[in-house]
């Protein structure tokens, strides 16, 4: 008799397992959304190298220290500005230098120009401090 009861219990358990019956509530699958990381390395290599070489030239020539510090500096700037912003800021800065009156007003006076020139100046100053550029 015990064998019969044991056989019945085992067969009921097997039926429940095979039929997918369970006392546990099914949980829906989690939906994973992949959010792209912000781009901090959108500066082309050529432009990074050009920046480092100009920086090195301005700070006494090529040494390990100036190369490292100037490489660090462009990395810090890249954290604060996209390449498009950096490029526009450098363009506005270049075109507004030495231009007086109406000739330079188109590059010097627009709000976008003022904002970008201010941002690049702040980014470069912050980078110089954190990268120990002398």
User: pLDDT (tens digit, 9 = 90+) per residue, 36-56?
Assistant: 655 556 899 999 999 999 999
pTM (2 d.p.): 0.63
Q: What confidence score (pLDDT) does residue 93 get?
A: 81
Give the start-to-end residue ranges of the domains of the chain: 45-131
| C-alpha to C-alpha distance for 82 and 54, rounded to whole angstroms | 20
| CA-based nearest residue to 74, from 39, 37, 47 | 47
The answer for residues whose C-beta is within 8 angstroms of residue 97's C-beta and 6 or more apart is: none
Give 41 or 90, the one with higher predicted confidence. Answer: 90
pLDDT-derived band at 6, boundaries 50, 70, 90? very low
């Amino acid at each position: 008799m015990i064998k019969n009861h044991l056989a019945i219990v085992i067969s009921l358990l097997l039926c429940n397992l095979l039929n997918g019956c369970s006392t546990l509530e099914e949980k829906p699958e989690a939906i994973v959304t992949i959010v792209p990381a912000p781009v901090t390395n959108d500066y082309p290599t050529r432009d990074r190298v050009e920046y480092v070489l100009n920086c090195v030239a301005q700070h006494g020539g090529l040494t390990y220290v100036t190369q490292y510090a100037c490489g660090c500096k462009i990395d810090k700037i890249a954290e604060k500005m996209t390449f498009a912003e950096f490029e526009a800021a450098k363009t506005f800065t270049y075109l507004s230098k030495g231009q007086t009156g109406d000739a330079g007003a188109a590059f010097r006076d627009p709000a976008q120009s003022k904002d970008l020139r201010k941002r690049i100046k702040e980014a470069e100053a912050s980078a110089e401090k954190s990268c120990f550029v002398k």
